[in-house]
Every structure is written in structure tokens, then in C-alpha cells.
Amino acid sequence: MSLTMKQARVGIGATQQDIADKMGIHVQTYARMEKCPEDVTIKQATQFALIVGLPISDIFFLPTNSN
């Protein structure tokens, strides 16, 4: 089962700010990544997966209709 970035983040009890800080990016940049996951680079996806403790294959990096 794949999770969206938001689901993965919420699953570890992290805020957007928490993830942005760990990735070394601005919170608005991270929010944009959640909104448009298809624009996330491989490097960012790998970094995010490490932070949330999931295999990259378990995270859905395609556009969704849910927020």
C-alpha cells in the first residue's frame, strides 16, 4: 500500500515544518512538494523516505485529487 507524502508525514507525527527543517528546505518548498509530488526529485524523494522511515516504493509520488 502506498502512502502520500502527507500521510507518511502525519504517520510519524511530524509537521510540514519538521520535515522541511530535516530536509534543509523552506517550509513553503516542502508544502509545494506535498501539493505537487510529481515535481519531487529523486534526491528529495530519497531524503524524504529516509526521514519518514519508509521504503521509497511505499510513498506515492504522483498527483492526487485529495489534500
Banded model confidence at residue 64, pLDDT cuts 50, 70, 90: low
**Residue 40: which CATH number?**
1.10.260.40
Asked whether residue 65 is domain-assigned, the answer is no
Give the per-residue pLDDT at 62.
81
Q: Is the pTM higher than 0.85? A: yes
Taken in order 8, 12, 15, 20, is the CA torsion positive or negative? negative
Domain span at 10: 5-58
Q: Report which DSSP code applies to 12.
A: T
Overall number of domains in the chain: 1
- 48 HSE (CA, 13 A, CB side): 28
So what's the pLDDT on residue 65? 63
For 15-58, write each residue's pLDDT tens digit.
999 999 999 999 999 999 999 999 999 999 999 999 999 999 99
pLDDT tops 60 at residue 66: no
64 within some domain = no
Residue 25 lies in a domain: yes
Question: What pLDDT does residue 28 have?
Answer: 98
